[in-house]
Amino acid sequence: MTRAAKKRIVVAITGASGAVYARRLLQLLCASGVEVHLIISPPGRRLLADELRIDPPTAEALVGGRLAESIIVHPYKDIGASVASGSFLTDGMIICPCSSNTLADVAAGTGANLISRAAAVTLKESRRLIVVPREMPVSQIEIGNMLRVSQAGGIVCPASPGFYLLPQRVDDLVDFVVGKLLDLIGVPHDLKTRWQPPADGGSPTD
pLDDT tens string 44-94: 999 999 999 999 999 999 998 899 999 999 999 999 999 999 999 999 999
pLDDT of residue 197: 76
> CB of 77 within 8 A of CB of 113?
yes
Q: On the CB side of 98, how many CA atoms lie within 13 Å of its CA?
A: 29
Break the chain into its structural domains and give their ranges.
Answer: 8-185
Instruction: Report the b/e string of 105-144 with b at 16+ CB within 10 A.
Output: bbbebebebbbbbbbbbbbebebbbbbbbbbeeeeeebee
Rounded Cα distance, 112 and 116, in Å: 6
Architecture of domain 8-185: 3-Layer(aba) Sandwich (3.40)
When pLDDT is cut at 50, 70 and 90, the band that residue 194 belongs to is confident
pLDDT of residue 202: 60
Residue 155 forms beta bridges with which residues?
130
Provide the whole-model pTM: 0.92
When pLDDT is cut at 50, 70 and 90, the band that residue 192 belongs to is confident
Rounded Cα distance, 157 and 94, in Å: 10
